[in-house]
Amino acid sequence: MKRIFPFLTPYKIAIFIALSLMLMELAVELVQPLIIAKIIDDGILQQDLSVVFRWGGVLIGCSIAAFAAGVTNSFYSSHVSQSFGFDIRKTLYDKVQAFSFTNFGRFPASSLITRLTNDVTMLQNTVFMSLRIMMRAPLLVIGSVILAFVVNARLALVLVISVPVIIFFLLFIMKKAGKLFKMVQERVDQVNKVMQENLVGIRLIKAFLRAGYEMKRFRKSSQELMEKTVKALRLVEVTMPIILLLMNASILVVLWYGSIEVTADRASVGDVVAVVNYATRMTGALSIVTMIIMVFSRAKASGNRIAEVLETPVDLVDREASDNYAIKQGSITFDDVTFSYPESDEQVIRNLSFSIKAGQRAAILGATGSGKSTLFQLIPRLYDVDKGEIRIDHQELTSFKLENLRQQIGFVPQEAMLFTGSVKENIAWGDDKASFEEIKEAAMRAQIHDTIMDLPKQYDTQLGQKGVNLSGGQKQRLSIARALVRKPKILLMDDSTSALDMKTEAKLLEQLADLSCTTVMITQKISTTMASDHILLLDEGELLAEGSHQDLLTSSTLYLKIVESQIGKEALNLVQRSN
């Protein structure tokens, strides 16, 4: 929680005002029994109506002042809690945006969503309730005990005995409840995870008729959440009857002992009424403690979960030696590079060395799991290598600032990812400063312009989440346009033409040839490799062969087999004879 408290610092003036108004309410509540005692002793018992009216007027005036203070306190408490929640959520989101892929491996998406929503809301509500009523409850208990002593020390001793017992009991319950509510939040993570997976894969679920299975999986997660929540609430709820039992017993003792003191003329009726009134107010305040325990226990669990994210070091940042280099040519060199994913001993890439000249079109070919996509993630430095060196324009990769490096790289992922918004906004996502003409040019190069013009509102047509209203090939071409609008010096395309027909792909490759950038394409299509200047053949993270299409036909048996499997032996012979 120490990591969370500094977020309240900017609002210390508003907090001071809210607490001052809360203390005003508290003061009125503590003074009321004294006024009532005076009305009873000096007014009612003495049959002096002037005293009753005078102090009754004071009592009403104090109540009106307390009401006004309460309303104003609510305004300031809301301001602090809402602003506090906004600041935490923003800082938390900024931290998540700075995370590396390794950091994301530690925190599942469902857990981050819960922390950004449920956990922040829990802290936000706790701040509001603390400024409004939570701090008032313990202060009311302390103030009631002190003023009960002022009224009559003998009667107040009864309260002094019962209150410490209750406090120690509450501290014990709070410690136990904190652990239980932490488990509750973890179960919320799990429920969110199942929901997220189901909603993302709803088409697949329906196609495979797996709705029944997924409903059982959701019910299981939901059942676990319910059981943990019930267990935590059951522990908290048991405090209320125990508190009421102890406090009501204390009130009975005060009444019994008070009658003895009044008979012995050592206390007045007003004194007994005042002490009983304080005991009653303490009972009301302590009854709120059940809620306080629950809220603070959950807030502590939520605060620790948020702090866990905020305190997580980002393991991929600019090095001290990083300079303001910009990619100018786009040559790429891998020099004896070895890489394995965090928390895994398996080397995905082993001793990989190759060079791609600036402006070349290179194709990477290999079976599933050969390390192609991993290689792509190393170029924009989404991961750092374990051994070896990657150079761009003959500069070691870590000598670039991350922003400068990635700003000059266009990346088209294997799975086309589009966002809710217009077609124009999705393309401009690659460069938010791009003009409409530049957006249109990128779309034309990506062979998607004609398709866009056939849409109802053309470039202003709204796309559903993940481009749900587009085909696979259309989404791929929009993703390519998004990368091209950046005017990158290096263009990385991870099997991003797999859904295109040969004619459309040929036109796309022809357009890409006019760009002054280095293009690296992961592909399974021989038609793509044939149109490339340089081909890398990977297998299990190692480079088996490299060269042009003609070079590999004569030097690599594996490449020859791949070509034969796609275009046929006779067609291959014709191609070779023509060359």
Per-residue model confidence (pLDDT) at position 468 = 65
Amino acid at 74: S
For the segment 136-142, the average pLDDT, to the nearest whole number, is 77
Contacts of 50 (CB under 8 A, 6+ apart): 43
Per-residue model confidence (pLDDT) at position 574 = 45
Q: How far is CA 317 from the centre of its chain?
A: 20
CA distance 431 to 482: 8
Per-residue model confidence (pLDDT) at position 324 = 78
For the segment 268-290, the average pLDDT, to the nearest whole number, is 75
Work out the mean pLDDT of the chain and round it to a whole number. 81
% of the chain exceeding 90 in pLDDT: 7
Per-residue model confidence (pLDDT) at position 570 = 47
Report the chain's C-alpha Rg in angstroms.
36
- The model's pTM: 0.70
For the segment 475-497, the average pLDDT, to the nearest whole number, is 87
In CATH terms, 321-408+488-579 corresponds, of 3.40.50.300, 3.50.50.60, 3.40.50.150, 3.40.50.2300, to 3.40.50.300
Long-range pairs of 310-315 with CB within 8 A, sequence gap ≥ 24: 310/3, 310/91, 310/92, 310/95, 311/3, 312/95, 312/99, 312/103, 312/106, 312/107, 314/95, 314/98, 314/99, 314/100, 314/103, 315/100, 315/102, 315/103
Per-residue model confidence (pLDDT) at position 553 = 83
CA distance 413 to 390: 21
What is the DSSP secondary structure assignment for residue 117, as one 8-state letter?
I
User: pLDDT at residue 469 above 70?
Assistant: no
Higher pLDDT, 193 or 479: 479
User: pLDDT at residue 290 above 80?
Assistant: no
Per-residue model confidence (pLDDT) at position 203 = 66
From 111-115, 223-227, 319-323, 510-514, the region with the lowest mean pLDDT: 319-323
CA distance 478 to 459: 11
% of the chain exceeding 70 in pLDDT: 94
Domain covering 410-487 in this structure, CATH number: 3.40.50.300
- State the pairing for strand pair 349-356/332-339: antiparallel
Q: Are 5-310 and 321-408+488-579 the same fold in CATH? A: no
Per-residue model confidence (pLDDT) at position 72 = 92
CA distance 147 to 159: 11
Higher pLDDT, 66 or 135: 66
Contact assessment for residue 383 and residue 103, using Cβ atoms and an 8 Å cutoff: no
| Residue with token string 């890409």 | 512
Q: How far is CA 288 from the centre of its chain?
A: 31
In CATH terms, 5-310 corresponds, of 1.10.10.350, 1.20.1560.10, 2.40.30.110, 1.10.150.130, to 1.20.1560.10
For the segment 151-164, the average pLDDT, to the nearest whole number, is 76
User: pLDDT at residue 579 above 60?
Assistant: no
Per-residue model confidence (pLDDT) at position 334 = 92
Amino acid at 7: F
User: pLDDT at residue 577 above 60?
Assistant: no
Per-residue model confidence (pLDDT) at position 569 = 54
pLDDT band of 270, cuts 50, 70, 90: confident
CA distance 78 to 80: 6
pLDDT tens digit sequence for 58-111: 888 888 888 898 889 889 999 999 999 999 999 999 888 888 877 777 787 777
pLDDT tens digit sequence for 305-316: 888 888 888 877
Query: So where are the chain's domains?
Result: 5-310, 321-408+488-579, 410-487
Per-residue model confidence (pLDDT) at position 335 = 92
pLDDT tens digit sequence for 363-376: 998 888 888 888 98
Contact assessment for residue 503 and residue 313, using Cβ atoms and an 8 Å cutoff: no
pLDDT tens digit sequence for 507-536: 888 888 778 889 998 888 887 888 888 999
Higher pLDDT, 541 or 263: 541
Strand partners, 365: 537
For the segment 213-233, the average pLDDT, to the nearest whole number, is 83
pLDDT tens digit sequence for 387-428: 999 999 888 888 888 888 888 888 888 777 788 788 888 888
Per-residue model confidence (pLDDT) at position 578 = 46
Instruction: Please work out, in degrees rounded to the nearest 5, the angle formed at the alpha carbon of residue 46 by the alpha carbons of 42 and 50.
Output: 65
